[in-house]
Amino acid sequence: MASANQVQRHPSLLALRAFEAAARRLSFTDAARELHVSQAAISRHVRTLEREVGCQLFRRLHRAVELTAPGREFAAELATAFLRIYRAVDAVRGVKARRLRLSVEPAFGSRWLVPRLGRFSVAHPEIELEIETSDEIRTLGHDVDIAIRYMPLGSGRPSKRSRRLFATDGVPVVAGIRPRPAEWRRDDAVLKYRLLHDDNGDAWRGWFGAAGLEGFERAKHLYFSDYSLAIAASLRGQGVALGSAEFIATELRSGSLARLGRTRVPFGEYRLLEAGDRSTASIRTIFVRWVEKEITLAAPVEI
C-alpha cells in the first residue's frame, strides 16, 4: 500500500481553469479579466501547476507568452474536458445543442479561427460547430449556414448577404534570430532566401514590383498549395514567405518570425457570407457577433 506522502496530489480545479484560460488567450492578463481575478493570481496558479505536473507549460517572453509542446497538448485536453462539463450542465438543465455549419477559407480556418475556437465554445457551449475548410463555392442555406471567403483585390463584391471582416496585406517574414541583422531592414535582404509561395507566384511578383526590386526570376522558389504550409516552412528556416499580420501575430510577438525589408503589398479582404433562412438565424447572429468582437479585440501587431 502506498504511503500518504507517496500519493500524488491532483492539481486544483482553480489552477487548471487558470491555465486553460491563459492558454486559450495566450495572455495572463486576459485570463485574469475573464476569471475576475488578478494577473498575479493567474501567474501563481500556472507556476503551481507547472511544479505539480513536473514540466514547463509556458515560455515567458518579453511582454508575451507561448505554450510549450506539453503545454499545447495539455491545454487541448483541458479545453475538451471543460467543454464536456459545460455541456453536461446544459444537458441537465434541458438545454439542447444547436449546430451551425461553416465553410471557411483554409488560411483563415487554420491561422485565425482555430486558435480562437476555445473562447467560442466556452461562451456558447450549446452551439456545435461543423467546420470545413474549402475555397470552393458552397450553396448558402443548403450546404452551409455561413461561409468565410478571401476576396483578392479587384474582385467583385459578393451579391449575397455579406460583410467585410478585415483587409490583409503581406510583408516578407523569415525565422527570427537575435540579434536581428541590420541588413534585414532593407528590401533586398529577401534575395538571400528561397521564396515560399502559396500561389502561382503572383503575390511575390507584386511585392518585387512594389519594392522596385529585381531578382524574382533568379531566386530559388518553393511552391505550396496552402498558406499555412508556407508559413510553417518559413518558421523552420526554409525560406521567406509573405505573411499577413492577422495570421502570424503570435509568431511576430514571440520573435519566432521577423520581418524583412520595408515594403508591404495589399492582398485583399476576408468577407463573411450568410444564409438567409430563419432556422439558423439566431445562432448565425451569435457567431457573427462573436467573430466581429474577436476582430475588434485583436491587439494590433507592429511589423
Select from 77, 99, 122 the last residue of a domain. 77
Residue 154 belongs to some domain of the structure: yes
Residue 107 belongs to some domain of the structure: yes
Residue showing cell 483585390 = 153
Please give the pLDDT value at position 17.
Answer: 93
Give the domain range for residue 87: 79-166+269-297
134-149: b (≥16 Cβ within 10 Å) or e: eeeebebeeebbbbbb
The answer to whether the CB of 222 falls within 8 A of the CB of 281 is no
Contacts of 270 (CB under 8 A, 6+ apart): 105, 108, 148, 149, 150, 151, 164, 165, 166, 167, 168
- Within this chain, do residues 258 and 290 fall inside the same structural domain, yes or no? no
CATH number of the domain encompassing residue 51: 1.10.10.10
CATH number of the domain encompassing residue 258: 3.40.190.10
Please give the pLDDT value at position 2.
Answer: 44
Residue 4 belongs to some domain of the structure: no
Please give the pLDDT value at position 136.
Answer: 79
Residue 5 belongs to some domain of the structure: no
- Within this chain, do residues 34 and 182 fall inside the same structural domain, yes or no? no
CA 291/CA 163 separation, integer angstroms:
11
- Within this chain, do residues 113 and 65 fall inside the same structural domain, yes or no? no
- Within this chain, do residues 190 and 59 fall inside the same structural domain, yes or no? no
- Within this chain, do residues 180 and 96 fall inside the same structural domain, yes or no? no
The answer to whether the CB of 109 falls within 8 A of the CB of 115 is no
Please tell me the pTM assigned to this model. 0.69
- Within this chain, do residues 282 and 255 fall inside the same structural domain, yes or no? no
Residue 136 belongs to some domain of the structure: yes
- Within this chain, do residues 123 and 236 fall inside the same structural domain, yes or no? no
Please give the pLDDT value at position 91.
Answer: 74
Select from 23, 58, 77 the last residue of a domain. 77
Q: What is the pLDDT along the chain (303 residues), one digit of tens a residue?
A: 344 444 567 889 999 999 999 998 888 998 998 899 999 999 999 999 999 999 999 998 877 888 998 998 999 889 888 877 876 876 787 766 688 999 999 999 999 999 899 889 888 888 989 999 988 777 788 889 999 999 888 777 666 688 999 999 999 999 998 888 999 999 999 999 999 999 999 999 999 999 999 999 999 999 998 899 999 999 999 999 999 989 998 898 888 999 999 999 999 999 999 988 888 899 999 999 999 999 988 766 665
How far lies 223's CA from each of 191, 202, 204, 229, 242, in Å? 17, 12, 11, 9, 12
Residue 72 belongs to some domain of the structure: yes
- Within this chain, do residues 155 and 291 fall inside the same structural domain, yes or no? yes
- Within this chain, do residues 256 and 288 fall inside the same structural domain, yes or no? no
Residue 302 belongs to some domain of the structure: no
- Within this chain, do residues 89 and 64 fall inside the same structural domain, yes or no? no
Select from 77, 92, 115 the last residue of a domain. 77
Residue 1 belongs to some domain of the structure: no
**Beta partners for 74?**
none
CA 77/CA 74 separation, integer angstroms:
5
Structural domain count, the chain: 3
- Within this chain, do residues 97 and 137 fall inside the same structural domain, yes or no? yes
- Within this chain, do residues 159 and 285 fall inside the same structural domain, yes or no? yes
